[in-house]
Amino acid sequence: MIKVCSRLFLLVAIFSIAYTQLVKGQHQPRQNCQSKCGNFTIEYPFGISTGCHYPGDKSFKITCKKDKPNVRRNIEVKTFDHSGQLRVLLNRSTVCYDEEANIEVNSYRLKLDNFSLPPNNKFTVVGCNAWGLLRTFGVQNHSTGCLSLCDSPPAPHSKCNGAGCCRTDVSIPLDSNRLQTGSERFENMTSVKHFNPCTYAFLVENGMFNFSSKEDLKNLRGVKQFPVVLDWSIGNQTCEQAGSRNICGGNSTCFDSTRGKGYNCKCLDGFEGNPYTSDGCQDINECTTTSSILKHNCSDPKTCRNRDGGFECKCRSGYRLDKTTMSCKRKDFGWAMILLVTTIVFLVILLGISYIKQRLRRRKDTELRQQFFEKNGGGMLIQRLSGAGPSNIDVKIFTEQGMKEATNGYEESRILGQGGQGTVYKGILPDNSIIAIKKARLGDNSQVKQFINEVLVLSQINHRNVVKLLGCCLETEIPLLVYEFINSGTLYDHLHGAIYDSSLTWEHRLRIAIEVAGTLSYLHSSASIPIIHRDVKTANILLDEDLTAKVADFGASRLIPMDKEQLTTMVQGTLGYLDPEYYTTGLLNEKSDVYSFGVVLMELLSGQKALCFERLETSKHLVSYFVSAMKENRLHEIIDRQVMKEDNQREIHEAARVALECTRLMGEERPRMKDVAAVLEALRVKTTKHKWSDQYPKEVEHLLGVQNLSAQGDTSSIGYDSIKNVAILDIEAGR
């Protein structure tokens, strides 16, 4: 009997203590509660078993399934926030149509109970010609939705703005206890089934879904659940109504929930942890924490003293705390003044020294730039420009700083090309105009002369097919030339596929050949002082956006005095294009450019490189290869397939004969560039006439009359009498 009474007394005592705690609102979890579900940490008021979560509300009960926490048994929890929010995964609703127009509907329902939907969620519908509806039920029912219209797939990167996808804000009554999502099409649209068999409606946290028409209209990327934010709170009373019975632990405070009912807890400033347990909020030691947000702001860490909920900067005896800088300063005002005056005097002296050094540095930089100007031939340039006759261009002098800014410090990505004469960079001036900057490769005085020579030569040229010189910069260690920017690469790039596909037609190639020939003719015959380029090659012929030729790189060029026909110079040029007579004798004349042009014309016709070691031993040089093909009557084998057509074979053969004439061994046997340009121009006229004859034969016959050369015999001879006023060219004399 005594044992029975003692047991009854113990049960009454336990019940009394538990009831007292519940009445006061101080319910706390058991000591042995499970705190992990997989990698997820479960914190009170949520818990797995009875006695481990807030009592009387099943919303706080966690079910651990396959190491994943769930609320309301089947809603997976992703993150937990002490301030009153859960991030969970909610299912989508689906309406699908199969080939026989059968409909499969799968709507989604959720019982909210003590959870609510905050405004930072979006109701989203994905599908064409569909509408979606979000309905909530409570004291007052509420519905919201949106329309998505489209007859074809929207652009791949379309936003969710009503075409294939729509979204709307979630603003539902706070007393809602159930919700339902669903979607439906306006009609059974067979035109969209192949790219949008289903429509989808779902809730998703704002910013957590980016619409992709290509992937989402087909099957929503296979995603069946989306992250949603749910608000939660303790009970149905506000902090004021709950009073001392709230469950907020020590060093925490109570605040009313944004749900409109219940409350939440948070740790006081200077504390962190779980505010829903009695001792969950612990003091933060601001003097030792590594967090930049919670760290102290004492200038000297040794002066930091931690206290509950904060810290203080404690200065030693004889010092005071300056709250502006949070540093310790002497209390003696006199010492502060002495220190201040000393600091000011020191700064004045330091500024004076800095100013003097800056002036000396500027003077030294000015002298250095002047030295570079003289070293790079500035005086020679001025002297030769003033004595070389009238200049056709205004040579602008650019500064070193301007060139650095234009090329972004000469970075490698700005390099357009490199050659024997230097490196060419792409530059952008402050007015956004694009230029080409040539940085000479200097090593001795002769290369300085070549640099000055290029400025001098270009100053005498004013021709639409010569790259325009804008100016130069001589105050750098390596001098710079500034040209107009030609944006479509070189002829070499277009022919040999270095950058561009070889897609030049016969008309393009013939026009380029005419433009280059006309330019060389101008240099030889029409310039104020005759000019020999000396390095004619496809890499020195630039093409603009209209494929207009621009002859460039005059570093090796020479001005020919009016009383001389040739000069004796050190041999310079590029193998494959170099005149063999000039190579053996050192005698330079205009026929050296004629030879190089002949090689360029062969490249235009064949699409092959001037010098190729992959060809047979006797055909490594394109000229030898070309001559042998002409002799053996197999020219068609080496002509570029993109060039040769049925209606232009005769013109191509005539152009090939011009190329052979230009590359004769003896310079005196080669034609002048003026005559070559005239013959090529006649070929273009002839090509144009053939095209018109094919399209309008009667009109052309009427316009040209009986004097048409084609009526007088074989047209293959047209133009060849004009080269040297001699008979038709003999192939065998080519090499």
CA distance 211 to 163: 10
Confidence (pLDDT) at 461:
79
The answer to whether residue 279 sits within a structural domain is no
543 and 667 fall within a common domain? yes
Q: Which of 463, 485, 507 is the last residue of a domain?
A: 485
Q: For residue range 339-351, what is the model confidence (pLDDT) as tens digits?
A: 888 899 999 999 9
The 10s digit of each residue's pLDDT in 207-262 is: 999 998 888 998 898 899 999 999 999 998 999 999 988 999 999 999 999 888 89
- End-of-domain residue from the set 250, 273, 296: 273
In angstroms, the CA 596 to CA 538 distance is 10
- Give, in order, the Cα–Cα distances in Å from 180 to each of 78, 123, 141, 186: 22, 11, 11, 19
Q: For the chain, which ranges sit under pLDDT 70?
A: 1-26, 99-102, 188-190, 331-334, 336, 376-394, 419-421, 441-451, 453, 498-502, 555-570, 618, 687-735
For residues 586 and 696, membership in a common domain is answered with: yes
The verdict on whether 535 is a catalytic residue reads yes
Same-domain pairing of 74 and 103: no
Closest CA to 88 of 203, 201, 227, 259: 227
Residue 16 maps to a domain: no
Last residue of a domain, one of 485, 502, 531: 485
Q: Which domain holds residue 160?
A: 85-231
The pTM of this model reads 0.47
Using a 10 angstrom Cβ sphere, with 0-12 exposed, 13-18 middle and 19 or more buried, the burial of residue 396 is exposed
Looking at the fold, whether 543 and 645 belong to one and the same domain comes out as yes
The answer on 102 and 73 residing in a single domain is no
Cα–Cα dist 421/445, whole Å: 14
Is 28 inside any structural domain?
A: yes
Distance CA 380, CA 584 (A): 31
Within a domain: residue 282?
no
For residue 394, the domain's CATH number is 3.30.200.20
Question: Cα 264 from chain centroid?
Answer: 48
Do 133 and 143 touch, CB atoms closer than 8 A? Answer: yes
Residue 427's H or E segment, with its range, is strand 422-428
Question: Is there a single domain that holds both residue 72 and residue 89?
Answer: no
The CA distance from 438 to 422, in Å, is 7
519 and 466 assigned to the same domain: no
Is 303 a domain residue? no
DSSP-derived secondary structure for 276-287: TSTT-EEE--TT
pLDDT at 84 (0 to 100): 92
pLDDT of residue 348: 93
Q: At what angle do helices 333-375 and 378-387 cross, to 10 degrees?
A: 40
Q: How many domains is the chain built from?
A: 4
Q: Do 470 and 507 fall into the same domain? A: no
> Is there a contact between 554 and 456 (Cβ–Cβ < 8 Å)?
no
Listed residue (179, 152, 180) closest to 164, CA to CA? 152
Residue 293 lies in a domain: no
The CA radius of gyration of the chain, in Å to the nearest whole number, is 45
Q: Which is catalytic among the residues 216, 493, 535, 640?
A: 535
- Are residues 475 and 539 both part of a single domain? no
The reply to whether 436 and 533 lie within a common domain is no
Please tell me whether residues 517 and 654 are part of one structural domain.
Answer: yes
Question: 608: number of CA atoms within 13 Å, CB side?
Answer: 21
> Rounded to an integer, what distance in angstroms lies between the CA atom of residue 111 and that of residue 95?
21
